[in-house]
Amino acid sequence: MDIDRIAVHESVAKACPLEAMVAALQGSDVPVEAVGDDASFDAGDCVVTFSPRDVFLDAAWVHGIRAGYDEFDVAAYETAGTALTNSTGIHGDTVPETVVGYLTAFARRLHVYRDRQGDADWTHEPYEAPFTLTGERVCVVGLGTIGQGVADRAAALGMDVVGVRRSGDPAENVERVYTPDELAAAVGDARFVVLCCPLTEATEGMVDAALLETMRDDGYLVNVARGPVVVEDALLAALDAGAIAGAALDAHWEEPLPETHPLWDHESAIVTPHVAASTNRYHEDIAALVQENVERATRGESLRNRVA
């Protein structure tokens, strides 16, 4: 594959400044330029983008700057013969650190005290409310880059870690790995269930009313995957009924989450606006991936992270 232009689509601004991404990609012999929705593409182009556009199918290769590529029509890429690569592999610190933040907030009640701070409120949580992460069980659903990072940190905190992955293969710091058909058994004893899997036909609606019913009533759900992995109405009903103790959600069914959505001021929820992966080095991490693949393409080797 001969790449003679790297076109950085303006949608990358959803994750990092467009100019920073363009600058980070400079340095090889291949020219780099920012492009908007009016641009056209040809067989010498690599497009770096956050969002899909139909016109990208005219390029040689499209690089999505997210790990999740559920918004891309993989079959159309295969039909067009356009390569599609994703950005899995770069979120092994950011997202797991955010997950540790959610777990710590719930256990140590930090979110409650932060909410009260504006009222100079010295009220203590009930004696029974705070607990330690040490000794609690977490079930990590999806044991790839992000799930492994969560498992490593949870184990370091003295938690009991179990996990779920398609293959069922063992993972470091995970005492027992279940397969997706064993999901109910995997979550049953867990104080925390952390979703770190892709959105696929198999995972859409995976966390439904029945699974939430299986969870402990003092258990917490964390979703850093994609909103539709969880059935929205079922989660709201479980939170309202106290069937689970709370949920931390970074990924939502509609983004931005509508202003009137009940989760915004739900006392059992922590809502973040899809920022679990945010870092001031995002442009550098993406540029390293793209530049490695430009070199591979030049040498005629297969692209890393190729999904179509």
Q: Is 274 labeled as catalytic in the residue annotation? A: yes
**Residue 282 interacting partner from ligand 7N6, ligand NDP, none (CB closer than 5 to 8 Å by kind):** ligand 7N6
Contacting ligand NDP (CB under 6 A), which of 18, 199, 221, 238?
199
Structure tokens at 232: 């929205």
> Helix H segments across 93-141?
94-108, 110-117
Q: Give CA 77 to chain center in angstroms.
A: 23
What phi-psi label fits residue 175: left (phi over 0), alpha (psi between -120 and 50 degrees) or beta? alpha
Interacting residues with ligand 7N6 (CB under 6 A): 15, 66-68, 87, 277-278, 282
Nearer to ligand 7N6, 198 or 219 (CB): 198
Q: State the catalytic residue, choosing from 191, 226, 252, 283.
A: 226
Distance from C-alpha of 109 to C-alpha of 115, rounded to nearest angstrom: 10
Count of other CB atoms within 10 angstroms of residue 128: 7
**Residue 147 interacting partner from ligand 7N6, ligand NDP, none (CB closer than 5 to 8 Å by kind):** ligand NDP
Question: Measured at CB, which residue is nearest to ligand NDP?
Answer: 144
Residue 52 binds ligand NDP (CB under 6 A): no
Q: Give CA 141 to chain center in angstroms.
A: 12
Smallest gap from residue 23 Cβ to ligand 7N6 (A): 18
Strand runs labelled E in the chain: 5-9, 32-35, 45-49, 61-64, 83-85, 137-141, 160-164, 176-178, 192-195, 220-223, 246-249, 269-271
SS3 content of the chain, % helix, strand, coil (to 5): 35, 20, 50
Q: Going residue by residue from 154 to 193, which x/- string records binding to ligand NDP, judged by CB under 6 A?
A: ----------xxxx------------x-------------
Nearer to ligand 7N6, 35 or 67 (CB): 67
Q: Which residues are catalytic?
A: 226, 255, 274
Residues that bind ligand NDP (CB under 6 A): 67-68, 88, 91, 95, 141-147, 164-167, 180, 196-200, 202-203, 224-226, 250-251, 274, 276-277
